[in-house]
Amino acid sequence: MITNAVQYIVEGGHRLSGTIRPSGNKNAALPIVAAALLSDKPVVLENVPRIRDVETLVQLIQSVGASAEWVERNTLHIHAKNLRAADLDPDLCKKIRGAILLAAPLLARCGEVTLPPPGGDVIGRRRLDTHFLALEQLGATYKIGKRLEFRTSGLRGVDMFLDEPSVTATENAITAAVAAKGTTVIGNAACEPHVQDLCHFLVALGGQIEGIGTNRVTIHGGRTLTGATHRIGPDHIEVGSFIGLAAVTRSPLRIERAGVEHLRAIRMGFERLGVVCEVDGEDLIVPDNQTMEIQSDLGGAVPKLEDQPWPAFPADVMSIAIVTATQCKGMVLMFEKMFESRMFFVDKLVGMGARIVLCDPHRAIVAGPSSLTASTVESPDIRAGMAMLLAALCARGTSTINNVGQIERGYERIDERLRALGARIERVEDRREK
Residue 189 exposed, middle or buried by CB count within 10 Å (0-12, 13-18, 19+): buried
Pick from 129, 133, 137: which is nearest to 155 by CA? 137
- CA distances to 145, 243, 249, 367 from 325, rounded to whole Å, are 44, 12, 13, 8
Interstrand relation of 228-231 and 43-46 (parallel, antiparallel or unpaired): parallel
Interstrand relation of 363-368 and 398-402 (parallel, antiparallel or unpaired): unpaired
41 phi, psi to nearest 5 deg: -105, 160
Residues whose CB falls within 8 Å of the CB of residue 319, separated by 6 or more in sequence, listed in order:
342, 345, 383, 384, 386, 387
Helix axes 103-110, 26-35, angle to 10 degrees: 10
Cα(307)–Cα(336) distance, integer angstroms: 6
Residues whose CB falls within 8 Å of the CB of residue 237, separated by 6 or more in sequence, listed in order:
25, 26, 27, 314, 316, 317, 383, 410
Cα(150)–Cα(111) distance, integer angstroms: 8
Pick from 85, 136, 143, 140: which is nearest to 110 by CA? 85
Cα(286)–Cα(51) distance, integer angstroms: 26
343 phi, psi to nearest 5 deg: -80, -10
Question: Among the options 53, 89, 121, 316, which is catalytic?
Answer: 121
* Amino acid, res. 185: V
Say whether 121 is catalytic.
yes
Yes or no: say if 39 and 225 are a contact pair by the CB < 8 Å rule: yes
Pick from 173, 176, 192, 162: which is nearest to 28 by CA? 192
Under DSSP, is residue 285 helix (H, G, I), strand (E, B) or coil? strand
How far from the centroid of its chain's Cα atoms is residue 161's Cα? 24
Cα(163)–Cα(160) distance, integer angstroms: 9
Alpha-helical segments (H) within 81-180 = 90-93, 103-110, 129-137, 167-179
Give the residue numbers annotated as catalytic, written as ranges.
121
